[in-house]
Structure 1
Amino acid sequence: MQQSPDTIRVFLADDHRVTLWGLQRLIDSTSPRMRVIGSATTRSELLCHHAVGDADVVLLDLDLGGESSADVLHNLQHLCRGHVLVLTAADDPEQHRAVVMKGARGVVHKSEPADAVLRAIEKVSAGEVWLQGALLGDVLGLLTGHGTPAGPAHGSDASRIASLTAREREIVAAMLQLTGAKLFAVAENLAMSEHTLRNHLTTIYSKLQVHGRLELHVYATAHGLGAMAH
């Protein structure tokens, strides 16, 4: 199969083999724009598959074999360099908000036309988000404190920001400047390994009380952290 360095590598996770077959035919038909590099039908198969780590986008069904796949989003953030795009037949806005807050970069409904699925994959691969207007508004409201809070806040924003070291502030600034970049590219820009960057981000997320890159981006932008390293 023809492939270029810019080919978007997609991993599929869905417990319906007919759906997997259809998605693979759809995605591979765009080659060399994108191609499927692997698939899984259960959560355990997904987390153990060797190809997951190479994916630019994991297209993840929320229901895998009767089990919620929302609980594996945290694991996927460590296993995969790319981003997760949730594919669902559910019409539950609360469930959609929850998976985005857990790290998914977008939600696409199974009723969407084929070209919308392909556009969503491209957007998420580029580090952007794919959310419908109402869902995007809800998520941004939660992240900026204007929606229903996910949990109690501890300490003021000023004290959270003050707890960051100079290196951590530099990392936050780099994450804002390289919003669409994959972590290994950000790490290279910062002259550190991807593993070291992930460790720093875990500490930063804890100090700022955010969950993942999307939430960090919104919080840091709202508080002007992009220029703090300069």
Structure 2
Amino acid sequence: MSNVIKIAIVDDNSFLINAIKEKLSFFEDIQFKYSAGNGKEIIQKLEQDKNIDVILMDIEMPVMNGIEATLEIKKRYPQIKIIMLTVFDNDENIFNAIKAGADGYLLKEVDPNGLYQGILETLSGGAAMTPSIALKTLKLLRNPIDFEIVDKEVEEVKLTTREIEVLEQLSKGLSYSVIAENLFLSPSTVRKHIENIYSKLQVHSKLEAVQKAKRNNLI
């Protein structure tokens, strides 16, 4: 490893990207290379320049979330360390991030020194974790079965062919009106299909619906 640590930041909130950059600006051996607004964009940027040591990755993002991006990046560039940097510390996110190959998991409220030490620890082969995350991870290791039960329940959900078509369009980030036009439906019919999808998958947002559908091979 060279003396300079090359960093990329992935977050759909430009204000938070600047806040992270500001935290890292205190450390002379940190070099910010570039940022991306979602998982798909960071993968495209890595194709152009994969000379990155650490990626600080948000979880909840449009187009492709941080967990999906982590899985893909780890397949292509296993040498790049990925630290999830998020406001979310729920058990399912932690579980899925670790399964995807994340090297660390810090909350965005981490102070500059904590973030810097987490980066150094990860590059040294450790796993940077906010204490509360580490505690949750231990609990998950002791009782890993919960999410398998959740996934099994979702797998048993059946969507109609039309609902799957709507969900596929939704996963591309298209608006209701564009989906309606593409599928020759009225916007109100599209909205009704999406309500049915939310109900069947037991989710409350577009992102959750797409994540669960992909995880269970519905789309």
TM range (shorter): 0.5 to 0.7
Q: Which residue of 1 aligns with 2:139?
A: 138
Q: Which residue of 2 aligns with 1:40?
A: 36
**Are 1:62 and 2:59 matched, yes or no?**
yes
Q: Which residue of 2 aligns with 1:185?
A: none
SS of match in other structure, 1:49: helix
Q: 1:12 aligns with which of 9, 24, 35?
A: 9
State the shift of 1:79 in Å: 3.3
- How high is the TM-score relative to the length of structure 1? 0.55
Q: Is the 8 A contact 1:97 1:138 kept in 2?
A: no
Closer/same/farther in 2, CA of residues 97 and 52 from structure 1, 3 Å limit: farther
- Provide the rounded CA distance (Å) in 1 between the counterparts of 2:53 and 2:139: 26
Q: Which residue of 2 aligns with 1:86?
A: 84
- How high is the TM-score relative to the length of structure 2? 0.58
Closer/same/farther in 2, CA of residues 67 and 47 from structure 1, 3 Å limit: closer
Q: Is the 8 A contact 1:62 1:70 kept in 2?
A: yes
Q: Is the 8 A contact 2:58 2:84 kept in 1?
A: yes
Q: Is the 8 A contact 1:53 1:79 kept in 2?
A: no
State the shift of 1:87 in Å: 0.7
> Which residue identity lines up with residue 71 of structure 1 in the other structure?
E
Query: RMSD over aligned Cα, in angstroms?
Result: 2.4
Closer/same/farther in 2, CA of residues 52 and 75 from structure 1, 3 Å limit: farther
- Provide the rounded CA distance (Å) in 2 between the counterparts of 1:121 and 1:134: 20
Q: Is the 8 A contact 1:61 1:69 kept in 2?
A: yes
State the shift of 1:10 in Å: 0.9
Q: Structure 2, unaligned stretches of length 5 or more?
A: 149-219
SS of match in other structure, 2:125: coil
Q: 1:127 aligns with which of 125, 128, 150?
A: 125
**Identical-residue share of aligned pairs (%):** 14
Q: Which residue of 2 aligns with 1:104?
A: 102
> Which residue identity lines up with residue 15 of structure 2 in the other structure?
V
SS of match in other structure, 2:22: helix
Q: Is the 8 A contact 1:46 1:52 kept in 2?
A: no
Bigger mean CA offset, 44-53 vs 123-132: 44-53
After TM superposition, the runs of 4+ consecutive aligned structure 1 residues lying more than 4 A away are none
CA offset digits 1:60-85 (Å, max 9, x no partner)? 00022375221121211133322110
Q: Is the 8 A contact 1:59 1:86 kept in 2?
A: yes
Between structure 1 and structure 2, the one with the greater Rg is: 2
> Which residue identity lines up with residue 99 of structure 1 in the other structure?
A
Closer/same/farther in 2, CA of residues 73 and 46 from structure 1, 3 Å limit: same
> Which residue identity lines up with residue 122 of structure 1 in the other structure?
L
Aligned length, in residue pairs: 143
Closer/same/farther in 2, CA of residues 65 and 24 from structure 1, 3 Å limit: same
Q: Structure 1, unaligned stretches of length 5 or more?
A: 152-230
Q: 1:30 aligns with which of 27, 32, 35?
A: 27
SS of match in other structure, 1:9: strand
SS of match in other structure, 2:50: helix
State the shift of 1:135 in Å: 3.0
Bigger mean CA offset, 49-58 vs 79-88: 49-58
Q: Which residue of 2 aligns with 1:189?
A: none
Q: Is the 8 A contact 2:24 2:112 kept in 1?
A: no
State the shift of 1:107 in Å: 0.7
- Provide the rounded CA distance (Å) in 2 between the counterparts of 1:28 and 1:114: 9
